[in-house]
Amino acid sequence: MNELIKAIYERRAVRKYKEQEVSKAVIEKIVDAGRMAPSAMNRQAWKFHILSQKEDIELFSAEIIKAAKRSFTEMSFKSVAHAIVSGITHLSHGIDFLTSKDPVFYGAPVVIFISAPKDNEWAGLDIGMCSQNIMLAAKAMGLDSCPIGFGKLVSKTKDFAKLNIAETDEIHIAIVIGYGNEHPETPERKKDSVFWI
């Protein structure tokens, strides 16, 4: 099988990581792969804010949990119900938010926050493609990853300023990277989503 196709089919969202560092050189190669993604009018508006110190990752994880609790109390009933269902999905992956040391970043040694200007209407699409490149590059280099939408709540933490994100920008996603300590099964893919015209 072609190596790229192999990486696409073998990449999984991994939520358990070994306590093994990832070198800065490897992280830079992975981010470079992200930069190769297409972007609207080739603006390449993304910015990468990388945490690789365990203490910083644990700090932000704890702060994001606090921010989530605050947000939870401000939600409507419908939103609370949706959040509970989402939480159950996380629990089904074996992550217990009540007892896990790092229920946000799963103990991964690298967290990449990706931001873009708030006024860029195409940033979400651009960062989606960039993120996929990052995760596929990580897989091709023998690492695992997981996209963390919950990471957006970092903007509501007291330590947000440490990420040096401009006031004109916003976080779109966080991606964790490391040497996986689990091998999730491949969920069945829907085949009824193609319509030939």
All residues at 6 or more sequence positions from 125 whose CB lies less than 8 Å from its CB, including other chains: 40
* Closest to 17 in 3D by CA, of 131, 175, 172, 128: 175
Structure confidence at residue 78 (pLDDT): 60
Instruction: Kindly compute the dihedral angle of the four CA atoms of residues 84, 87, 93, 98, in this order, to the nearest 10 degrees.
Output: -120
What totals of helices (H) and strands (E) does the chain contain, helices first?
5, 4
Structure confidence at residue 159 (pLDDT): 94
- Each residue's pLDDT, cut to its tens digit, for the chain (197 residues) gives 799 999 999 999 999 999 999 999 999 999 999 999 999 999 999 999 999 999 999 999 999 999 988 877 775 556 655 655 555 445 445 555 555 678 899 999 999 999 999 999 999 999 999 999 999 999 999 999 999 998 999 999 999 999 999 999 999 999 999 999 999 999 999 999 999 99
* Closest to 141 in 3D by CA, of 34, 15, 16: 34
Domain boundaries, the chain: 3-178
User: What is the value of pTM for the model shown?
Assistant: 0.87
Structure confidence at residue 88 (pLDDT): 47
The string of pLDDT tens digits covering residues 129-149 is 999 999 999 999 999 999 999
Top CATH class of 3-178 equals alpha beta
